[in-house]
Every structure is written in structure tokens, then in C-alpha cells.
Amino acid sequence: MKTPGIAASEITDEGVFMNRRNLLRLGVGAAIGAAIGGCPAAEEAGAKDDSGSADSGLRPLTDVEPARARHRADDEISRYRDATEYNNFYEFGTGKRDPAHNAHSLKPEPWSIVVDGEAGKPGRVALEEILKPTRLEERIYRFRCVEAWSMVVPWIGLPLADVLKRFEPTSKARYVSFETLVDREQMPGQRRRVIDWPYREGLRMDEAMHPLSILAVGMYGRVLPNQNGAPIRLIVPWKYGFKSIKSIVRIHFSESQPNTSWNDLAADEYGFYANVNPEVDHPRWSQARERRLGDFRKRPTLPFNGYADEVATLYSKLNLRRFF
Ligand code: MTE
């Protein structure tokens, strides 16, 4: 990605191959739910990776519905340490290893989200209230960063639609946008104005209400590590990773298309839609192929990140070269 002072080398994933175990400093926190319960994907990933989630000290999430067949990517799940030590979270620095190193200062508990704009029931809601009515589910999704690296992660969360409906968006609500926490003490990267904080992202309402869109509160059977967006983040698997905003504190319904961070910074490089599309190159690199974290060879990138059957109809009226 491109912001002042960021070296081009940061768009490569060279760090994946380094031993970063000593840098692992997971933030402990986020009391979300309690109790017990199996998580097949987490066990699977832990078994092949000795630095797996079981060692993280993070709270296990329980009573989680295992991923249904259609929510279970066929690809091999990425190693826990790749998914948690190679991150983009500019609030903690612009280097790939900065978030794992610095995010211990984030306090994901207590947490609440303000909901406003075109909603019949706006207000401030505690995270526990958001999670209470719906059983958490596992979703094993491919995740493709605009920088051409990718991973497969067993997220745990709840459908975004279930949450949004509770605030009764009005008939004028055509878009929904999200904001990350602003707090220079907890997020030292915000002392530099690499982004006009807060980090902002948004979706069209039909995208937000699509069953594949989730709010994630965990991964690999446990609550989210701070560097992955604790305590609650968006996951939209058919879009480039920058849409999947972390550590959300505000949800806003609007009639007009919202401003979003990367689109504001470089509209010619990062579109509002940001659907994964191997046919539309980034101005500075090809999007035809991607490197899965942990792999040496690149693999072809799939249209809509492999979710075209489910989501392509959302864009039947859109020129995807123009609205990229
Ligand atoms: N959310 C916030 N608040 N700040 C960020 O810098 N980076 C985005 C997205 N969400 C980012 C963010 C980008 S560019 C990517 S690729 C993903 O988070 C990375 O998610 P991960 O670190 O869990 O792999």
C-alpha cells in the first residue's frame, strides 16, 4: 500500500520466511463469552504448528457452531503464526511485524460501538450486547490483501446482517460505514498522520447484508489477538483485505457513499468496491497472482477471491473496471 514514508519493499511478504517467534507478543484480553466447546479448524491448525493458538494465552471461544460446508474454504488453513505475526494495522506502525510487536497497548475490554445515522434505533451498544442474541459461528475464508499476499483463516463471528438489522436501518440507508478507535496512547501509530485517523471503511447495504459478510470476534478457536483487530472487526472475504476494518467503535448508516481511508489516500489505486479481481491490476503491480503466506510459489488469484458464485450478482449492473 502507499503512504508517505513506506518503502516499496513492504509490499512484499519477505517477512513470512523469517523466524518471528521471538517477536510474538500477543495482547491478552477481550472477555467475550465463556464456557467450553470444540473448534475443529483451530485444532487442525494447532496440530501442524507448534506456535499455534493454544500457546497464545488468549481466551478460548466456546459454543461455536462449526463452519458449514459452504463456509469452509477447501484450501489448507494458514499457520496461526503467519496470520498473527504478519499484519497490516497502521495504528500500530506500518511495518508488517509492528502490529504483533506493539498492539499489547490496546485494551479491548470494555468495548462498545456507537451506531448512528439513518437508523430507527441508534445508540451505544456494549460488545456483550452485540454478541448475546446470536450464536457464534466459524467461517473458514480465504483472505486476499491488495498487496498480493493471501491466507486462509478460521474466523469466529456472527453475520453482519444479524447485527445491522437490530438497529433498524431506514429506507434511506444505502451504505454503512465503520470507524476504528482513535486513541494515541493505545494506538501509538496514530501519533504519525499516515492516515487521516480514524481508519474508515464502508459497504453498500446489499454487500453488508450478504450472508458472507461477518463481524469477527475470534480466530483459531480464541478471541482475536489485538494485532488482528480485537475485539471486533469486519470480514468481507470477496474484497481486498483493506475493506476488513479492525477494532470497530462506530457504525454509521448513510444515504450517500461514505469516504473511506484508502480511497481518500489514493483513489486511482484503491477503489471503494475493492472486489478481488485478477483482471484489474493495481497501477504498481499485477493482481493476477498471489502468494499464500508460508508458500514460495504464487498461485492464480480467483475472481471475487473464489466467491463469485455467491456474490457476482451484486455487481451485475456495475462496470467492474470503472468501479474497482
Ligand atoms: N483496519 C485498521 N483499523 N487499520 C489498518 O491498517 N489494515 C487493513 C485491514 N484492516 C487495517 C485495517 C489491511 S490493508 C489488511 S490487508 C487487513 O486489515 C489485514 O488484516 P490482518 O492483519 O488480520 O491480516
Average pLDDT, the chain: 89
Domain presence at residue 324: no
Residues 113-125 have a mean pLDDT of: 98
Distances 205 to 98, 135, 162, 223, 256 between C-alpha atoms, Å? 33, 23, 13, 27, 11
Q: Is 86 contained in some domain? A: yes
- The alpha carbon of 241 and the centre of ligand 1 are apart by a number of angstroms equal to 6
Residue nearest to atom 19 of ligand 1 (CA): 88
**How many A from CA of 92 to the centre of ligand 1?**
11
Q: Is residue 322 part of a domain?
A: no
Query: For a pLDDT cut of 90, what percent of the chain falls above it?
Result: 83
- What pTM value is reported for the model? 0.89
> Which tens digits make up the pLDDT trace of 123-154?
999 999 999 999 999 999 999 999 999 999 99
Set of cell numbers at residue 256: 450517500
Residue 320 belongs to a domain:
no
Q: Is residue 124 a part of any domain in this protein?
A: yes
The residue whose C-alpha atom lies closest to atom 6 belonging to ligand 1 is 89
Instruction: Domain of residue 45: give its range.
Output: 8-312
**What number of residues does the chain have?**
324
Give CA–CA dist 140/183, Å, rounded: 31
Beta strands in the chain (DSSP E): 112-117, 123-126, 137-144, 149-159, 175-180, 200-204, 214-219, 222-223, 233-235, 248-254, 289-292, 299-300
| Residue 323: inside a domain | no
Please give the distance, rounded to the nearest whole angstrom, from the Cα atom of residue 171 to the centre of ligand 1. 31
- Please give the Cα distance from 66 to 159 (Å, whole number): 14
The total domain count for the chain is 1
Q: Is residue 3 part of a domain?
A: no
Any idea what the CATH number is for the domain that residue 245 is in?
3.90.420.10
Q: Ligand 1: which residues within 6 Å by Cβ?
A: 1, 87-91, 145, 180, 199, 228, 241-242, 244-247
Per-residue pLDDT, 52:
82
Q: Which three cell numbers stand for residue 43?
A: 485444532
- 203-239 pLDDT, tens per residue? 999 999 999 999 999 999 999 999 999 999 999 999 9
Residues 6+ positions from 298 with CB-CB distance below 8 Å: 148, 289, 290, 291
- Considering the domain boundaries, does residue 321 fall inside one? no
- The yes-or-no verdict on residue 31 having pLDDT over 70 is no
Among left, alpha and beta (phi > 0; psi -120 to 50; other), residue 148 is left
Cα distances from 210 to residues 53, 62, 121, 176, in angstroms, run 29, 25, 21, 13
Is pLDDT of 88 > 80? yes
- Relative to the CA of 198, which ligand 1 atom is closest? 3
Among the ranges given (38-42, 62-66, 97-101, 132-136), the one the predictor scored with the smallest mean pLDDT: 38-42
**pLDDT tens string 233-281:** 999 999 999 999 999 999 999 999 999 999 999 999 999 999 999 999 9
